[in-house]
């Protein structure tokens, strides 16, 4: 067992527990975006910053990836943390203002406007979909491609991946697209249900355990009637 | 193709970081990474295709598009940039009529800009097919293109001391295989008869040891195993050994003065070996004191000169 000190409160946690888990156990709220229970932490969004250490050695780390250390002093809402967190939210808003998830996070953290060049991206590269596909769906159909400003999420060669289970899990977890309809590019579509008006899943034998996240699914709705 | 790729993957087996090395080797053989190759690598390494694809698209060095015969890389790293590297790149673009990252329509040249070639003091640097040009001026650009067209490797063959001519004969009928009337790399060629599939014709190899230049009557598709025959006695040239890299049979040819040279019969596999009964002058320790050294190199019985 390891003892950490969070905002002045001592807590004993198992070795390997992250600061985020420890803080949430004590009830200190830390906003997160790219973290999801059941998936590995990836540390992409930096929204979960906390301050560790003291004096000149104090520094900011992402709590979802930082393992608890014996005697560590953690502050989850110091002035520096709040300022940084707001800045990160502003940057997120600058790239994907249309995302309901990001809007909610901004509202909860009292960010009302951002001061950067406004863009309208459809992905913040949080990697949730990639981890969902790999760790929960065991499909590894999508992943990161390219690097720098060309980095993107998608299937190899931009064609529907053979290993995709058409579960829709990737779209379900995505904080930005929620459900991205790819009807206008059917060959790249993940499900393509709306183009052929028949759900891709029902012909599959293991229909019952498809773990489908496509909701609402156009094909499903039409078939019901 | 997939055979060679499987071979490459097997060679790097067991290393977690092996993917980059595998892709590098595939690219050096094919000049780019074909889709089928990535699929084979994914299958053989047990990784997902998207993982391999991610690595291949992450590094600028890898190309997923077929590239031209010659690859020109212009350095735009900081040091080369301040020395007008971008002017050189622009000049290449204008002369070749393509943008950086593109390939000419006739598939002759591919142009790319790179971010540092590690020779900053001698910038601007241009690399063509692995040959470095330093302190490049705008006026030299057209010359560099001309040199690349003529083939940088063949000019090197003349200058490179390690490459020398050898004289070959048929190991069965002892007739010379050299054809003085047909030159490759400015030297008489080795003439053989080949057959593959339904095609039957001649093949001429450069007689320079270390040069891979060949000419043949019919285009041989990469990866084909070809049967070789002596043009005089029509005996099939086939030995008992097979290629250590790709397992295709090796083709033996005798060297005047003793020794045997073996080349791999698979097109695209550059494996070859030389078994020497006696030393060759160019590698001989006594070549500085020997009175009989053959300046053009070759394989000789030293006794011949005693
Ligand atoms: S729909 Fe396909 S890509 Fe998306 S999570 Fe499911 S298997 Fe992965
Ligand atoms: S597509 Fe959505 S879930 Fe996937 S990385 Fe982009 S924002 Fe995250
Ligand atoms: S939740 Fe920790 S970096 Fe995104």
Task: Give B265-277 pLDDT, tens digit per residue.
Answer: 888 777 777 765 4
Q: Residue B150 is encoded by which pair of tokens?
A: 């003529």
Same structural domain, B176 and B125: no
Residue B159 tokens read as 């200058």
- Please report, for the domain that includes residue A152, its CATH number: 3.30.70
Q: For B77-135, what is each residue's pLDDT tens digit?
A: 999 999 989 999 999 999 999 988 888 888 888 998 988 888 888 878 999 888 888 88
- pLDDT tens digits, one per residue of B194-246: 988 888 888 888 887 777 778 888 888 878 888 999 888 888 888 777 787 77
The verdict on B40 and B173 lying in the same domain is: no
Predicted pLDDT of residue B306: 44
B295, part of any domain? yes
In the prediction, which pLDDT does A51 show?
95
The answer on A91 and A17 residing in a single domain is yes
A217 lines ligand 1 (CB under 6 A): no
B185 and B258, same domain (yes or no): yes
Same domain, A89 and A147: no
Which residues of A lie inside 8 Å of B (Cβ-Cβ)?
134, 140-147, 155-157, 161, 163
A71 CA: distance to closest CA in chain B (Å): 36
Angle at B81 between CA B76 and CA B84, to 5 degrees: 115
B238 and B279 co-located in one domain = yes
Ligand 3 — pocket residues by CB below 6 A? A 32-35, 43-48, 62, 64
**pLDDT given at position A206:** 57
Q: Which residues of chain A have pLDDT under 50?
A: 179
- Mark which of A108, A136, A166 sits at the end of a domain: A108
CB A63 within 8 A of CB A45: no
Query: Phi and psi (nearest 5°) for A201?
Result: -85, -30
Whether the per-residue pLDDT at B1 is higher than 80: the answer is no
Give the residues across from B262 on adjacent strands: B252, B273
Q: What CATH number did the domain enclosing B81 receive? A: 3.40.30.10
Residue B139 maps to a domain? yes
Predicted local distance difference test score (pLDDT) of residue B18: 80
Looking at the structure, tell me whether residues A163 and A100 fall in a common domain: no
Residue A138 domain-assigned?
yes
Task: Give the tens place of pLDDT for each residue, B135-193.
Answer: 889 888 988 888 888 776 655 555 555 567 788 888 778 788 888 888 887 778 888 99
User: Model's pTM, two decimal places?
Assistant: 0.65
Q: Which residues line ligand 2 (CB under 6 A)?
A: A 123-129, 153, 173-177
pLDDT value of residue A6: 94
Condensed to tens digits (0 to 9), the pLDDT of residues A84-132 reads 999 999 999 999 888 888 999 999 999 998 999 999 888 899 999 999 9
Q: Taking a C-beta distance cutoff of 8 angstroms, is the pair B30, B37 a contact?
A: yes
Whether B256 has a pLDDT exceeding 80, the answer reads no
**Domain assignment present for A190:** yes
CA-derived radius of gyration, chain B: 22
Q: Which pLDDT does position A145 carry in this prediction?
A: 92
Question: How many folded domains does chain B comprise?
Answer: 3
**Substitution site in A128, A137, A145 for ligand 1 pocket (most atoms within 8 Å of beta carbon):** A137
Of the residues A93, A125, A171, which should be mutated to test ligand 2's pocket, given the most ligand atoms within 8 Å of the CB? A125
Residues A89 and A40 in one domain: yes
Residue A154 half-sphere exposure toward CB, CA atoms < 13 A:
18
Query: Are the beta carbons of B262 and B219 closer than 8 angstroms?
Result: no
CATH number at residue A24: 3.10.20.740
What is the nearest CA distance from A34 to chain B, expressed in angstroms?
A: 20
Cα–Cα distance for residue pair B159/B146, rounded to 1 Å: 18
Of A77, A108, A139, the last residue of a domain is A108
Give pLDDT, residue A36.
93
Is B168 part of a structural domain of the chain?
Answer: yes
Same domain, B91 and B141: yes
Asked if A80 and A162 sit in the same domain, the reply is: no
Residues B126 and B106 grouped into a single domain: yes
A104 and A135 share a domain?
no
User: Domain residues for A201?
Assistant: 128-224
DSSP state of A142: -
């Amino acid at each position: 067992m390891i003892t950490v000190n969070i905002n002045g409160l001592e807590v004993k946690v198992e070795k390997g527990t992250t600061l985020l888990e420890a803080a949430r156990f004590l009830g200190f709220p830390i906003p997160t975006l790219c973290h999801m229970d059941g998936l590995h932490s990836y540390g992409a969004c930096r929204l979960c910053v906390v301050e560790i250490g003291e004096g000149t050695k104090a520094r900011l780390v992402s709590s979802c990836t930082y393992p608890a250390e014996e005697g560590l002093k953690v502050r989850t809402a110091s002035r520096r943390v709040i300022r940084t967190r707001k800045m990160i939210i502003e940057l997120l808003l600058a790239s994907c203002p249309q995302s309901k998830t990001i809007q909610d996070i901004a509202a909860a953290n009292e960010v009302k406007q951002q001061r950067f060049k406004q863009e309208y991206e459809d992905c913040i590269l949080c990697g949730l979909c990639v981890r969902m596909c790999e760790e929960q769906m065991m499909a590894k159909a999508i992943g990161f491609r390219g690097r720098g400003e060309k980095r993107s999420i998608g299937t190899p060669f931009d064609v529907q991946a053979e290993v995709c289970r058409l579960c829709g899990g990737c779209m379900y977890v995505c904080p930005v697209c929620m459900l991205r309809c790819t009807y206008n590019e059917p060959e790249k579509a993940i499900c393509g249900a709306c183009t052929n008006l028949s759900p891709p899943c029902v012909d599959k034998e293991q229909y019952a355990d498809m773990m489908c996240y496509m909701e609402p699914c156009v094909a499903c709705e039409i078939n019901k009637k | 193709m997939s055979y060679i790729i499987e071979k490459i993957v097997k060679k790097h087996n067991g290393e977690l970081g092996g993917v980059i090395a595998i892709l590098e080797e595939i690219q050096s053989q094919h000049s780019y990474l074909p889709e089928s190759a990535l699929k084979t690598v994914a299958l053989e390494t047990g990784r997902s295709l998207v993982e391999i694809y991610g690595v291949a698209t992450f590094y600028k060095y890898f190309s997923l598009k077929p590239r031209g015969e010659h690859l020109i890389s212009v350095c735009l790293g900081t040091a080369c940039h301040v020395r007008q590297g971008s002017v050189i790149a622009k000049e290449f673009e204008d002369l070749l009529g393509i943008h950086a990252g593109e390939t000419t329509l006739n598939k002759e040249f591919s142009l790319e800009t790179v971010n540092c070639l590690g020779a900053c003091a001698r910038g601007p640097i241009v690399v063509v097919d692995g040959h470095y040009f330093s302190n490049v001026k705008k006026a030299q650009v057209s010359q560099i293109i001309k040199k690349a067209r003529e083939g940088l490797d063949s000019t090197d063959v003349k200058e490179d001391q390690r490459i020398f001519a050898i004289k070959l004969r048929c190991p069965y009928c002892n007739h010379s295989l050299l054809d003085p009337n047909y030159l490759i790399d400015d030297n008489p060629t080795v003439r053989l008869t080949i057959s593959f599939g339904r095609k039957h014709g001649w093949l001429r190899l450069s007689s320079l040891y270390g040069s891979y230049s060949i000419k043949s009557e019919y285009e041989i598709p990469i990866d084909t195993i070809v049967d070789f025959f002596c043009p005089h006695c029509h005996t099939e040239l086939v030995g008992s050994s097979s290629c250590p890299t790709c397992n295709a049979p090796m083709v033996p040819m005798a060297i005047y003065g003793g020794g045997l040279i073996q080349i791999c019969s698979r097109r695209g596999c550059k494996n070859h070996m030389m078994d020497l009964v006696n030393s060759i002058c160019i590698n001989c320790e006594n070549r500085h004191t020997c009175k009989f050294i053959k300046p053009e190199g070759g394989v000789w019985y030293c006794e011949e000169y005693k």
